[in-house]
Amino acid sequence: MEKKRLTDAIVASNHKGEKAFIPYIMAGDGGIETLKTKLLFLQKAGVTAIEVGIPFSDPVADGKTIQQAGERAISKGTTLRLIMKEIETFYKQITVPLVLMTYYNPLLSYGIDLFAADCVRIGIGGIIVPDLPLEESDILRNALVGTDVALVPLVSLTSPPDRIAKITAVAEGFIYAVTVNGITGIRNAFDKTLEQHLANLKEQSTIPVLAGFGISTPEQVESMVAIADGVIVGSAIVEAFHHQDINTIQTLIQASNKNVFN
């Protein structure tokens, strides 16, 4: 397995006595011209990496908040090609890895080989494709061989042990441990088996395990970083940016390292 910059960033954060924090934003929500400002703000706020959502008409893994953000982005003419062109104009100012979260259809429309080449050219650190199962990932995986772009897998609470073993064997960047059964969105509680699930993943994986889906409050961030190598926070960040609530974003980021190793 090739070593990737995305993994290095998370490991470096953990070695400093910190847990990784990866916020999710929807590219084009508020206009494509806001993308640079949001990325630079999050970078300055101390995040480990940034997940950049690509708007899509049928986002099967997304809850209401991210669906609405995607609809707002699409209404402003945001496409994968436009996002890639926009990032190209400022990518040298971005020092944290960017992880594109997209569905497979936009990649097919773009062209897999061209997409992979463009990701390398503008310094993308990783790709997450929720509707691309392991068994069908070879075309994209092969296009990324020899590059510094990680194909990040998702592992669900219901994934059986043999499937988890297959996924962790080829995983890159980090293991995206889905913390709920269902779509993204704010949750009040998590499954009682989650802690053991994350422990099992960490035991099997040679790369960091991060928890994501449904994590939306500082308290939830604190509880998740106690049992994982970091967290991904989506809906709460998207909602906060939509309402220009910068304080909430900063509080969530700070919570990822509150009393972590005390």
138 as an active site residue: the answer is: no
The residues with which 148 forms a beta bridge, in sequence order, are none
Of these residues, 18, 62, 172, 229, which one is catalytic?
62
Of these residues, 51, 86, 172, 239, which one is catalytic?
51
Query: Is the Cα torsion angle 6, 81, 167, 237 positive or negative in sign?
Result: positive
Report which of 152, 185, 212 is spatially closest to residue 69, judged by C-alpha positions.
185
Whole-angstrom CA distances from 95 to 27, 45, 52 are 18, 12, 15
Ramachandran angles phi, psi of 143, nearest 5°:
-70, -20
Q: What distance in Å separates the CA atoms of residue 152 and residue 154, rounded to the nearest whole number?
A: 7
The string over 16-54, giving b where at least 16 C-beta atoms fall within 10 Å of a residue's C-beta and e elsewhere, is eebbbbbbbbbbbbbebeebbebbebbbeeebbbbbbbb
Catalytically annotated residues: 51, 62
